[in-house]
Structure formats: structure tokens, C-alpha cells
Amino acid sequence: GDLDDVHGDEEHGSWGGDFRKNERDAHGDLVDVHEHEEHGSRGGDFGKNENDAPGDLGDVHGDEKHGNWGGDFGKNENNAQGDLDDVHGDEEHGSWGGDFRKSENDAHGDLADVHGDEEHGSWVGDFGKNENDAHGDLDDVHGDKEHGSRGGDFRKNERDAHGDLVDVHEDEEHGSWGGDFGKNENNAHGDLDDVHGDKEHGSWGGDFGKNENNAQGDLDDVRGDEEHGSWGGDFRKSENDAHGDLDDVHGDEEHGIWGGDFGENENDAHGDLGDVHGDEEHGSWVGDFGSLDCHKYGLGIWGDEDSCVHFNLCVPAHPDGMRALRMKCPESTKFDWDLKVCNHAHKVDC
């Protein structure tokens, strides 16, 4: 739906990433930031429900008398997910807050509750497969920390505010992992290429298209600002950014952070993710979240007064990883392919 931009409604406690009402929103009907002020509800506010992965919104004060608290949906015939059980709604069936009932209008299909499909790695907030769902199942807030994933990932929906994230397990064979955005022309972050979306243009999962109305600022696409060393997935700085203060390609070079890396923000729905699992064999490049410490996976890049580009490798070498490094070097420099890579930080000159 329609988002407020970064400064859109500060007087109502609303900031970038708040959802407007949209009857076909994959996460249900969200209350517009002005929609129900008299009920203490304001757009984009998450209720209390630590196990609810998509952050299903409800009126924070809406139904406390019924044992229902923030994040639980009431009945709503236009709700994309169908009728939700509140926190106490169906305990005898092993179901609690955030579990979806079946609904023919459900964008994603049947969801397993916390006990429903543990053998398949599915729990509360995980979406079932649906032919209109580009990517498959999401992990809830605690769902898959060992794979670097924690709740707040959204499914495919052309009006989805955040774009379509690939589940951490969904497309490993294509080098895709949690945090890659699917294609969505109405996405608040611009026109994102999915993992297969635009390979012929050198674009892949996590690259943002240009969008002057983007809540995060004008993002450079994969070719958008090469002369400034900027490429797909680079965020502009914005202190009100729904995801925290993200560093763009020049934002925090002294810390080895580059385009696509999220800044630290413990309240960020996506967290500081590293490519812990999805693409280790490629040496983990664009789309990796979090700071590039050597206990995580990632590549750091920075320059010095000699205009030589250095790299900090924290992962095993791989041809595609080397190619990603080479791509970052100025055309006038040569990359030394003869490198010895170990498990520790290793400085290399172009």
C-alpha cells in the first residue's frame, strides 16, 4: 500500500515503513496511520507478539479485554490471510497468536502453527507455498537464527511495502538467501530485481531500482552510479529509515562496510544478518547484511592514499567471489589473482 515517506507523519509518531490500508496486503488489512486514531491505533505499530514473524498489526489497545493483544488480527473479510486466531483462540489445537486460518483469499495458503510442521522446519508465522508466492516460507522472529534469519521478511505481493524476500532456504541452489528482494514495481524501495530478474544487466537479488518516491531515498540501481563506486543495494543515509541508519557505499568504508550492508540497529526487523548459510561457496557478496567481521562472512573494501584498493577477505576463495572483488576495482588497476586466502582477515592489493 501507500507508505509515508521518511518524514511523512512524525507528529503522529509515524515514520518510514508505516503501512497504509490495503485490502489485499499479504499481511492483512493494516490500519492507515490516521485510520483509527480514536482507537489508539496507528499505522505500522507492531503489537506485542514476539512469535509473530510478519508483525501482524492490530490495534495496540484494541481488544485487551478478550485476552487479545497487539499483533493479533480480528475477523476481517478482506484480510488476505483469512480469519486469525487470537493469542488464546485455539490452544486446544496447538494454535496461538499469529496462526492463520485457511481462506480462499489467503495470498500464501495454509500456515503451520508452532507445532504444526516442525519436521519441515515450519512454525508460527511461516507461510505455506502458493503458486502466486514467489519465494515460499518465512522464518519467524526466532525462526532461524543459526542461518542468519530473523522475522520481518515479507512475501511476494505487488503492494507489499518491503518487497519480496527470499526465504533463507528457498533458493540456495541459485545463490539466493534471506534478505534478497523479489521483483515488485510498487515496492516502497523501488523496482527490485529478483534473483533471476535481470541477470543480463548484471543485476541480481537485493539490487534496488531507482524510485524518487522511495521511503529510503533515491537508491542507485546496479549501473546507477558506478562512477561514484555505488552499485545495487546501496542505501542512502536516513535517520528515520524504518530499517535503521544504513550506510551507503561511502558511508562507513573505514569499518569495511559497503553497498547493501545494513547498519547496526537492534530493532531492525531484518537484523544485522550475515550470509551465514546461503552463499558461502561464492564467498558471500552483495546483499550481505551486518558489519563485515571475520566471525561472519563478507568482503570489505576500502582505499588508501595511494589510490590502491584493498580487500578484506573473511571467507574461502571462490571464482565468483573473486569476480565480485574484481568488479569493485577501478578499471585502471589490476587484480592479483594469485592470492592465498585463509580464515583470517587478509589484505590484498589490486
Give yes or no for a contact between 179 and 165, defined as CB atoms under 8 angstroms apart: yes
Q: Give the pLDDT score at 267.
A: 26
Q: Using the 8-state DSSP alphabet, how is residue 152 labeled?
A: -
When computed from its CA atoms, the radius of gyration of the chain, rounded to whole angstroms, is 21
C-alpha cell of residue 117: 510442521
Of the candidates 274, 277, 100, 47, the residue with the CA atom closest to the CA atom of residue 175: 277
pLDDT value at residue 327? 36
pLDDT given at position 167 = 31
Structure confidence at residue 277 (pLDDT): 25
Backbone angles phi, psi at 195, to 5 degrees: -60, -25
**What letter represents residue 2's amino acid?**
D
- Going from N- to C-terminal start, the domains of the chain cover 1-133
- β-pair type (347-349, 309-313): antiparallel
- Ranges under pLDDT 50 in the chain: 1-350
Residue 299 has what pLDDT?
38
Q: Is the pTM of this model over 0.85?
A: no
* pLDDT score at 160: 26
- The full length of the chain comes to 350
Confidence at residue 343, expressed as pLDDT on a 0 to 100 scale: 29
Helix (H) and strand (E) counts in the chain: 1, 3
pLDDT for 128 equals: 32
Q: How many CA atoms lie within 13 A of 280 on its CB side?
A: 10
Q: What are phi and psi of 174, to 5 degrees?
A: -100, 10
- Which pLDDT score is estimated for 253? 32
- Give ∠ CA 308-206-50 in degrees, rounded to 5: 120
